[in-house]
Amino acid sequence: MTGIGGRAFVALVALSTLLGTSDILADTLKRVAESGVIRIGHRSDALPHSYVDQAGRPTGYIVDLCREVAASVQERLKPVAVRIEFVRVTAQDRFEAVREHRVDLLCEPSSITLARRQIVDFSIPTFVDGAGVAFRDKEVTRFEDFAGRKIGVLSGTTTHDLLRTALSQMGVKAEIVATADHGSGIRLLADGKVDAYFADRAILAYLYSRYEANRNFKLGKHHFSYETYGLALERGDVEFRWLVDRTLARLARDGRMAALAARNFGIANDELLNALIVVNSLPD
């Protein structure tokens, strides 16, 4: 075997040795080893999980977890130098970004569902939350309370699907207003253009605590569902998923996951999240 074909084979064998595989290379690690770049998909609006700070830097609880994963990838691939390239995604195109290899790891509050697992794989859980509501005037504690009202919800999310399905099944007549991001949804609520805003409760609590302009709305205490988040990655990429899961389990064991959550949310973690962290503390 000579010429270009021979050189390509030699390069492939060398890369296989570097990655610790003998037959088929894990696609994500192969791409990162070849390019020296790991592409992290992040959101601009999913505070405090994944957003852009005032200096324009991606930040948030789940982004912090992904920085730790990137450090593990660097350790795995050394002496190859690996840098992070942040790629902004939306709630509407995030999973396609993974499937189309525009991002290697999706670092935002993605709820794990069986339908989504037909498109991407997920890590072990990173967070547990559920749908909640912020409202004006009349309190909302059940879906029937939405009758005759306008409800904002982020398009392309499980909360959007939940709201639409629940109202339909219960025969509740209400107007659903789909928004492009959480910030615009809260502004619609504050400006009286919708009567309620339906979203993950942790995100609502964060926005509520920091919303200073015209905060003439309240944060509901009720959960309408319970969901677990995970980091989405290419479907079938066993090697990369193992590295991601091993990193998250280590962060759970050494208390780093709990500390990152408390720092980003600005409050003590609740019992449900603490229980999830304990479950995630898998031994090596």
Summarize pLDDT for 87-146 with one digit per residue, the tens.
999 999 999 999 999 999 999 999 999 999 999 999 999 999 889 999 999 899 999 999
Provide the H-helix boundaries in the chain: 3-19, 27-35, 61-77, 94-99, 158-170, 182-190, 201-210, 238-253, 256-265, 271-280
pLDDT above 70 as % of the chain: 88
Instruction: Say if residue 13's pLDDT is above 60.
Output: no
Domains and CATH numbers, the chain: 3-128+228-280 (3.40.190.10), 131-219 (3.40.190.10)
Q: What is the pLDDT of residue 236?
A: 94
pLDDT at 177: 98
Q: Say how far apart CA 140 and CA 133 lie, in whole Å.
A: 7
| Amino acid letter, 200 | D
Tokens 């207003």 belong to 177
Which pLDDT value is given to residue 2? 42
pLDDT one-digit tens code per residue, 130-172 = 899 999 998 999 999 999 999 999 998 999 999 999 999 999 9
Give the span between the Cα atoms of 192 and 215, in whole angstroms: 11
Average pLDDT of the chain to the nearest whole number: 89
User: Token match 């990162």: residue?
Assistant: 32
Interval 26-77: pLDDT, tens: 589 999 999 999 999 999 988 899 999 999 999 999 999 999 999 999 999 9
pLDDT at 260 over 70: yes
pLDDT attached to residue 20: 47
Q: Which residues contact 147 (CB under 8 A, 6 or more apart)?
A: 172, 173, 174
